[in-house]
Structure 1
Amino acid sequence: MSCSKLKKSTAKILRSLGIHKASLNLVLVGDEKIRMLNRRFLKHDRVTDVITWGEYRGGLQGDIVISLDTTQRQAAHYGNPFFYELCFYVCHGILHILGWDDSRAAGRRRMWRKQEEILKSFLFK
């Protein structure tokens, strides 16, 4: 995986959502670091795939923290290439900044469908 490839894919995700102005930090960490961030900022003691902070006001601004350990496990579990799974989490984080909610099953299904639709439009054609 290259930073350049991830940056280009992130730009494609943003464009597919109609976002042309963005300042986004992608932070790639391991499970222990994301667990520590969850404890410190979200008050829950568990590993998650992605944590997002941000806002959309005339442009997208935010931070997306992704666990590479979880990305690897989930890619193997779902039979996806690692890079596809990583972009899935980038897209997931962006949707969260835009206000999408996956705390309930219906919202989670809707969000996953949108992520897959976006990624399949430019990855692995």
Structure 2
Amino acid sequence: MSLSIEKEVDLDLEIDYEDIAKLVIEKALDYENCPYESEINLILTDDEGIRVINKEYRNIDRATDVLSFPMVDYEFPSDFSKLEDYTDDYFNPETGELVLGDIIISIPKVYEQAENYGHSIKREFAFLVCHSMLHLFGYDHMEESEASIMEKKQADILEQLGITR
């Protein structure tokens, strides 16, 4: 797995965010039985940075906690069965890795939400990475049935890592 982390702002997370991100991403890849070495980009920004991206790509002019930009079009979430038919579209030609996509997290939102939900910064950061990974696998939470599937997967992954509330 290749993880590229770009820190756009000089804000300290007070946690080992690189190790936590790798741990959660690897567990999510295993949990969803991804058969490929994968490439993920993680961008850490502030509220203004994520607001600009949210406005540009989703036409929503406000800060949010996390944005996910999947690079794979799945027929069904985590359906890896036909991806090799589209090697040029989904795999990095230099590494052969499946390019899953980008995760963008607002560091101030990590702190704010950890406090609001009464859990640790580590747990909130891990949750946002996990949530976003599921989006990169094609899951969504627009419908109640989709949301319950996603919520269960998030809880399972974080529980298996011992990162709970």
1:41 aligns with one of 51, 54, 57? 57
Aligned residue number for residue 6 of structure 1: 21
Normalised to the residue count of structure 1, the TM-score between the two structures is 0.86
Gaps of 5+ in 2: 1-14, 73-82, 85-97
Aligned residues: 125
Runs (4+) of structure 1 exceeding 6 A deviation are none
Give the drift of 1:115.
Answer: 0.5
The answer as to 2:87 corresponding to 1:72 is no
Give the drift of 1:103.
Answer: 2.0
Give the drift of 1:18.
Answer: 1.4
3-state DSSP class of the match of 1:26?
A: strand
Give the drift of 1:124.
Answer: 4.2
Distance in 1 of aligned mates of 2:100 and 2:138: 13
Query: Relative to structure 1, is the Cα distance of residues 121 and 75 closer, same or farther in structure 2, using a 3 angstrom cutoff?
Result: same
Aligned residue number for residue 114 of structure 1: 153
Query: Relative to structure 1, is the Cα distance of residues 60 and 123 closer, same or farther in structure 2, using a 3 angstrom cutoff?
Result: farther
Distance in 2 of aligned mates of 1:103 and 1:48: 16
Identical aligned pairs, as a percentage?
31
Aligned residue number for residue 120 of structure 2: 81
Distance in 2 of aligned mates of 1:10 and 1:88: 11
Query: Relative to structure 1, is the Cα distance of residues 91 and 23 closer, same or farther in structure 2, using a 3 angstrom cutoff?
Result: same
Greater helix share, structure number: 1
Query: Between Structure 1 and Structure 2, whose CA radius of gyration is higher?
Result: 2
3-state DSSP class of the match of 2:71?
A: strand
1:22 aligns with one of 15, 18, 38? 38
Tell whether the 8 Å contact from 2:25 to 2:133 is kept in structure 1 after alignment: no
